[in-house]
Amino acid sequence: MNSAILALEDGAVFEGRSFGAPSERSGEVVFNTALTGYQEVFTDPSYSGQIVILTNPQIGNYGTAEADNESARPYIEGLVVREFSPIASNWRSDTEAGAFLARHGVPIVSGLDTRALVRHLRTRGVMRGVLSAVESDARALVEKARGIPSMVGLDLASRVSTPERYEWTEGVDACSPSEGLAPAPEPRLHVVAYDFGIKRNILRRLRQVGCRVTVVPALTSAEDVLALGPDGVFLSNGPGDPEPLRPQVANIRKLIGRVPVFGICLGHQLLGLAVGGKTYKLKFGHRGANHPVRNEITSKVEITSHNHGFAVDPESLDANEIEITHLNLNDGTLEGFRHRNHPAFCVQYHPEAAPGPHDSHYLFDDFVKLMGER
């Protein structure tokens, strides 16, 4: 078994065994606390530019299944785990997890003390790093890590967005036929979805609640979106810093009040900027499938799936126009808001449950209701 090294910009070095591709990748080093759903993490475009640590002690044991991909390929730069399983035990598995990542050139380092590594990042904050299965000079890797561009100020959404418009027709029932889900109903409403790094299960959820879905590139103008005659506009998740996405924010600002708007994750942050708010970078972010969020309208607590390193500053929002709807119970981070005067709302977390619990599926029904009330 070959060795691999994870080197951080602060000089910390962690050594382990190499799986996946014998390659070298760099990026922001982050951690995810979900117990399942590693394939959805691999293929979520929101992880573009990031090396991901998974805190669940064993990864790879149920392989990968094509139907569970959130996009056409993995977007993580590298994977860090305590123990990696080279075999898969799952009747749905198409490919072993190591082979799946190796096919796309993604390196894996296993055998690290991930608990110590995560505690280090919680104390110091997420930082730049290099994961290498080809270089043994740790000092050289630390210097490479220090030369990586910071995530702050980085526009990654434009890189991962679709280059051209397309229609999405698949519902959740097509992804999980064994669950006996009802077929997606005939579309009653037309949703235009901005792709800033959109996950497939979001599209499936929109289709499952009776929407015809047209996906458009991140820089599509508001005028071109309105020309498609949408009943509503969806703002997707995506990677990177929302602040550099000024053209996208300008387009969203033009759409507010013209058509119902629903945003998730990066879409939440962009809607926040469009209504005059500000965003900031979290010390180590929220990534996992077990985050408690309180719905401020109903007072109910939802267990939710998260993947964000930036957040909207609630103090920057005009209380006369914006109503806070969701707060994170771990640290008080803003997790959702709605416009008081226009049909527009958003959440920072992921209600599509891929991976994650189903507590927040109702938000897709809320969007349908909002569009139907026009």
Give the DSSP letter of residue 197.
S
pLDDT at 301: 98
List all residues 6 or more positions away from 174 whose beta carbon is below 8 Å from its beta carbon: 184, 204
Judge whether residue 179 has pLDDT over 60. no
Judge whether residue 182 has pLDDT over 90. no
Of residues 220 and 372, more confidently modeled: 220
Q: Which residues pair with 301 in a beta bridge?
A: 294
Residue with tokens 């064993």: 58
pLDDT at 1: 61
- Among candidate residues 256, 371, 230, 356, the one with its CA nearest the CA of residue 305: 356
pLDDT at 210: 95
Taking the CA of residue 34 as centre, how many other CA atoms within 13 Å lie in the half-sphere pointing to its CB?
25
Range with the poorest average pLDDT among 28-32, 137-141, 357-361: 357-361
Per-residue pLDDT of 281-308, as tens digits, reads: 999 999 999 999 999 999 999 999 999 9
The yes-or-no answer on residue 352 being catalytic is: yes
Class of domain 3-146: alpha beta
Per-residue pLDDT, averaged over 176-196, amounts to 82
pLDDT at 113: 95
Per-residue pLDDT of 241-278, as tens digits, reads: 999 999 999 999 999 999 999 999 999 999 999 999 99
pLDDT at 175: 63
Residue with tokens 């959109």: 198
pLDDT at 180: 57
Share above pLDDT 70 across residues of the chain, in percent, rounded to a whole number: 97
- Among candidate residues 353, 48, 304, the one with its CA nearest the CA of residue 175: 353
- Among candidate residues 322, 328, 323, the one with its CA nearest the CA of residue 306: 328
The yes-or-no answer on residue 361 being catalytic is: no
Per-residue pLDDT of 119-147, as tens digits, reads: 999 999 999 999 999 999 999 999 999 99
CA–CA dist 63, 117 (Å, integer):
25
The yes-or-no answer on residue 350 being catalytic is: yes
Residues 320, 323, 328: CA angle, nearest 5 degrees: 140
CA–CA dist 136, 146 (Å, integer):
17
Q: What is the mean pLDDT of the chain?
A: 95
Distance of CA 56 to the CA centre of its chain: 19
- Of the residues 175, 211, 265, 346, which is catalytic? 265
Per-residue pLDDT, averaged over 306-333, amounts to 98
> What does the block give as tokens for 78?
């590298």
How do the domains of the chain map onto residue ranges? 3-146, 157-372
Residue 120 φ then ψ, to 5°? -60, -45
- Among candidate residues 32, 34, 43, 33, the one with its CA nearest the CA of residue 65: 43
For residue 321, count other CB atoms closer than 10 A to its CB: 13
- Among candidate residues 166, 227, 203, 210, the one with its CA nearest the CA of residue 371: 210
Give the DSSP letter of residue 230.
-
Per-residue pLDDT of 45-78, as tens digits, reads: 999 999 999 999 999 999 999 999 999 999 999 9
CA–CA dist 128, 286 (Å, integer):
17
Class of domain 157-372: alpha beta
Judge whether residue 8 has pLDDT over 90. yes
Distance of CA 245 to the CA centre of its chain: 17
pLDDT at 176: 61
Per-residue pLDDT, averaged over 335-357, amounts to 94
Taking the CA of residue 65 as centre, how many other CA atoms within 13 Å lie in the half-sphere pointing to its CB?
12
pLDDT at 232: 98
pLDDT at 323: 98
CA–CA dist 45, 53 (Å, integer):
16
